[in-house]
A and B are shown apart, each in its own frame.
Chain A
């Protein structure tokens, strides 16, 4: 047990750098001699790797959707949804329409026929203008 704990600190000092240093949080620790202690510190480097993994995965998903939009398979709604890390049920909740309708709007063919009001509402949720929604930056 003690060895494993030592290894943890050694590793974190030698080859792991802190990625996120915006805010220090309170963490608890346990040691047989000292009992339970609290310490305000940055999230440890190993866990920061895990947090980064999730952002990297999101970036990769965004890239995949982008390609699909470029070849005209998906609509820009699919791209911007991924960009603000949403999934269909959540976007449907913000749009106040049912999930299956949002799912249809992800198709380029259906997207082209959307009413201006619907586009406006999507743009509002994504925090962009209607022009940006209809023609994303990477399509120009």
Chain B
């Protein structure tokens, strides 16, 4: 039996929330937006050739695992990350690490997660949660999506750690082993910003970053004609689900990122970042407006002015704005 003193805090995004909560446990105080920004979590990509739940994949974030990896690396925190071939090994290792007194982050699939909200129980393998103890085959879980602490039994936990399909977790577990004192977060912030800026405006590939948003807008205009109204509305719904559903904290992480820029401007004492954070906040509100209008379309109540062309125009506006913001951010030194 192990039960560590762990403070459960909800978060907008699972992985940055897990990163923050784990670092907080080791007495390094950092906010969720900070963890997200330093981990360079923000992104955009539209991958029409990769279908998820029968529709093209839209993503507003980087590859799973990157936020924790990058944030801890930039902050100089030592970590241990394991994946396993054998499920039993992964559980033995988990018990061992818990007994040494470290809470552990796990990547899991959500379909068989018994405490998860039923409406979100789809095959989504990029969820993260923390185990902070176990007792007689029962594991104590802090999941940043949930209001309260939860529990899960041995079999279920093994099952979700070995969910299969795209981005299969393969029992991935990670935890900080040594957090140095007196960390200077300033260089980490600057590096995080530069990485995100490069991801958003520096990659010469049409499906990612601000260009990707424009590409999606172009595709969206053709949906109704090409796919018929029902499928077009389903495709649109898929974009909105990725933008607003589980763990983006709204508007595809744009709010979290704005909050990060605001905090960064205080820490670095650079007022121009504050201005950009306001830009980012307004940009996020525009995304939210997009999802509101889009959801009306999905309900088949769209007025003529909420045609796919109209929605695509909003996306173009958002793309221009994000390009402007990230081009400015790219100049940070």
B12 touches A28 (CB 8 A): yes
Chain A 29-47 interface mask (CB, 8 Å, partner B; 1/0): 1111001101010010011
Using known A-B contacts A47-B244, A47-B291, A57-B234, determine if residue A26 contacts B259 with beta carbons closer than 8 Å: no
Answer yes or no: A85 CB below 8 A from chain B CBs.
Answer: yes
Segment from A16-24, A62-70, A109-117 that makes contact with B: A16-24
A85 to B286, CA, bound (A): 32
Answer yes or no: A50 CB below 8 A from chain B CBs.
Answer: yes
- Give the chain B neighbours of A5 by CB distance below 8 A: 285, 289
A57 touches B244 (CB 8 A): no
A38 to B173, CA, bound (A): 29
- Contact residues on B (Cβ < 8 Å of other chain), bracket: 35 or more
- Give the chain B neighbours of A93 by CB distance below 8 A: 164-165, 168
Using known A-B contacts A30-B284, A36-B255, A90-B165, determine if residue A47 contacts B119 with beta carbons closer than 8 Å: no
Q: Among the listed A27, A31, A58, which residue makes an inter-chain contact with B12, where contact means beta carbons less than 8 Å apart?
A: A27
Segment from B180-188, B197-205, B214-222, B293-301 that makes contact with A: B293-301
A18 CB to closest chain B CB (Å) equals 11
Main secondary structure, interface of B, reads helix
A48 to B246, CA, bound (A): 11
A104 CB to closest chain B CB (Å) equals 20
- Give the chain A neighbours of B147 by CB distance below 8 A: 23-24, 40
In chain B, positions 79-132 with a C-beta closer than 8 Å to chain A are 111, 117-120, 122-123
In chain B, positions 257-310 with a C-beta closer than 8 Å to chain A are 258-259, 262, 277-278, 281-282, 284-285, 288-289, 291-292, 294-296, 298-299
- Give the chain A neighbours of B146 by CB distance below 8 A: 23
B245 CB to closest chain A CB (Å) equals 6
A30 touches B241 (CB 8 A): no
Q: Among the listed A11, A19, A50, A85, which residue makes an inter-chain contact with B123, where contact means beta carbons less than 8 Å apart?
A: A85
A1 to B298, CA, bound (A): 22
A104 to B71, CA, bound (A): 46
Q: Among the listed A11, A30, A51, A58, which residue makes an inter-chain contact with B285, where contact means beta carbons less than 8 Å apart?
A: A30
Chain A 82-94 interface mask (CB, 8 Å, partner B; 1/0): 0011110110011
A29 touches B255 (CB 8 A): yes
Answer yes or no: A97 CB below 8 A from chain B CBs.
Answer: no
Smallest CB gap from A22: residue in B: B117
A98 CB to closest chain B CB (Å) equals 14
A47 touches B285 (CB 8 A): no
Answer yes or no: B11 CB below 8 A from chain A CBs.
Answer: yes
Smallest CB gap from B118: residue in A: A22
A47 to B296, CA, bound (A): 10
B47 CB to closest chain A CB (Å) equals 15
B10 touches A54 (CB 8 A): no
- Give the chain B neighbours of A50 by CB distance below 8 A: 237, 240-241, 244-245, 291, 294-295, 298
B259 touches A36 (CB 8 A): yes
Answer yes or no: A139 CB below 8 A from chain B CBs.
Answer: no
A45 CB to closest chain B CB (Å) equals 9
Smallest CB gap from A36: residue in B: B259
B285 touches A40 (CB 8 A): no
- Give the chain A neighbours of B259 by CB distance below 8 A: 28, 36
Answer yes or no: B53 CB below 8 A from chain A CBs.
Answer: yes
- Give the chain A neighbours of B145 by CB distance below 8 A: 23, 25
- Give the chain B neighbours of A11 by CB distance below 8 A: 292
Known: A54-B234, A61-B54. 8 other contacts (CB 8 A): A1-B282, A8-B288, A28-B284, A50-B237, A52-B119, A53-B234, A54-B122, A86-B165
Q: What are the 6 tightest A-B residue pairs by CB atom distance, in nearest-first order?
A: A30-B281, A28-B255, A90-B165, A93-B164, A36-B259, A46-B295
**Can you identify 13 A-B contacts, CB atoms within 8 angstroms?**
A8-B292, A23-B117, A25-B12, A27-B255, A28-B256, A30-B281, A30-B284, A30-B285, A49-B299, A51-B245, A55-B119, A57-B54, A90-B166
